[in-house]
């Protein structure tokens, strides 16, 4: 299944409390359950004013639909073409 990185501009994201992050996560998971098994949230990276989410989804439209239903921004959606890591250098 294709993998996507979603950039979400959320001012102050890095200062959100554990409770706020839990609430956002619960909302996302509930939306995903309603969309069926074809879209999966793998994990997210929270920075100062952005959240970068990694999803498995059939296409970009599914990612956009999740954002719409959840009320989450999806400022940039990028399809992952390849994965590299330190072992790539070997």
CA 46, 55, 73: angle at the middle one, nearest 5? 55
CATH topology of domain 3-89: Alpha-Beta Plaits (3.30.70)
Q: What is the pLDDT of residue 68?
A: 97
| Paired strand residues for 1 | none
- pTM (2 d.p.): 0.92
**Interatomic CA distance for residues 53 and 62, integer angstroms:** 14
| pLDDT value of residue 60 | 97
Give pLDDT, residue 15: 98
Domain ranges of the chain: 3-89
| pLDDT for 26 | 97
Q: Distance from CA of residue 74 to its chain's centroid?
A: 8
- Block means of pLDDT (10 residues each) for the chain, 90 residues, are 97 97 96 96 98 98 97 97 96
């Amino acid at each position: 299944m294709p993998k996507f990185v979603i950039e979400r501009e959320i001012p102050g994201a890095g200062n959100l409390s554990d409770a706020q992050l839990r609430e956002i996560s619960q909302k996302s998971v509930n939306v995903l359950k309603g969309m069926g098994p074809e879209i999966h949230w793998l994990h997210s990276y929270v920075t100062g004013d952005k959240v970068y989410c990694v999803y498995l989804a059939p296409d970009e439209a599914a990612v956009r639909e999740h954002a719409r239903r959840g009320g989450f921004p999806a400022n940039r959606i990028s399809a992952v073409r390849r994965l590299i890591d330190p072992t790539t250098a070997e």
